[in-house]
Amino acid sequence: MANLIAWVATALALLPAGLVGAQSATQVPTVADTIPGQTLLLRRLSASMCQHLTAAHQHTDFSKLKPAAVQKLQRDITYQSLLDNAARFEVVQSLSSDEEKMGHWLTQEATLQWAETCPLARPLLSLHGTQALGLSVSLSAAERTALAPLAQDVCRCLDAENARQPFTGLEVSARGLAVQVAMQAAAQASIAANAAVLTPLYGAEAQRTPNQTTQLRMKIGQLVYERCPVYLNHISRSLLPGPPPPGPMLDIEAPPLLLPGGELPPPPPLPPVAKPRK
């Protein structure tokens, strides 16, 4: 099973890539419902993952977990949510032209939507996404206070760009590039505008090493992901394979496997029990 930590890490790494260059930031982008019930299944999977994460948080301090423990936690939560929705998952899978690829895509898309709809998941995934790159980018309390306005600036700029030309109106690959360019420009402008705040923590911009600059932008990226993850997930989706097309079962005239709206149909009535002969 693919791991979202690697996807988030890749998206975060693109923030300082040196490029030049109205859906709200908390709204989950609509994914085309290529198979009946797909959208409802994704919504239920991500909601189930959030419930299990919230339950785990009652007895686990996520900030103290090592990357391997975070990966195990994500695997366990994903597995449990799949069990919660096993019947619906199998039906949607069976209507695809490639059940294995559809299973992988449903899992990755549900996880992205989990990050977009479950605030508790965002800091966990963004922190360990950067750790997956081998970077030490943990944020101190002072850094969070100093960098929060910069992350807000980036999200605000992305909101404005999205209102001007919605990212979802672009092809998936172009969407990721457009977000990347807008985020790079917004981060650079905010770093320059907040030089007085950043210099005591990180030194003057002209004196920073390339590694220090990269870490600074990665830290801003973490906070951006916590505030408006949908934009970084546009980049993630541009790097991931999409869902396979529907399979031939959708063309067969037979009783529907899913009702309109994606609900499972009720089970067929049991045959009447024969009365014993007297």
Beta bridge partner(s), residue 96: 246
Tell me the C-alpha distance between 148 and 152, whole Å: 6
pLDDT in 10s for each residue of the chain, 278 residues: 334 444 444 444 444 333 222 333 334 444 556 787 899 999 999 999 999 999 999 999 887 888 788 878 888 999 999 999 999 999 999 889 999 999 999 998 998 899 899 989 887 776 666 555 455 567 888 999 999 999 999 999 999 999 999 999 999 889 989 998 999 899 989 999 999 999 998 888 777 888 888 788 888 888 898 899 999 889 888 888 888 888 876 554 444 555 555 566 555 555 565 566 65
CB 132, CB 6: distance < 8 Å: yes
Q: How many domains does the chain have?
A: 1
Q: Provide the pLDDT for residue 160.
A: 96
**What φ, ψ does residue 228 adopt, rounded to 5°?**
-140, 70
Question: Within a domain: residue 252?
Answer: no
- The enclosing H or E element of 129 equals helix 121-131
Question: Within a domain: residue 12?
Answer: yes
Question: Within a domain: residue 254?
Answer: no
Question: Within a domain: residue 162?
Answer: yes
How far is the first Cα of the chain from the last one, in angstroms, to the nearest whole number? 60
Question: Within a domain: residue 223?
Answer: yes
Tell me the C-alpha distance between 188 and 180, whole Å: 12
Q: Which residues have a Cβ under 8 Å from the Cβ of 32 and sit 6 or more positions away?
A: none
Tell me the C-alpha distance between 184 and 166, whole Å: 17
Question: Within a domain: residue 264?
Answer: no
Tell me the C-alpha distance between 162 and 23, whole Å: 7
* Residue 47 belongs to domain spanning: 4-17+33-246
Task: Say which DSSP state 246 is in.
Answer: B
- Identify the burial level of 18 via C-beta atoms within 10 angstroms of its C-beta, where 0-12 means exposed, 13-18 middle and 19 or more buried: exposed
Question: Within a domain: residue 278?
Answer: no
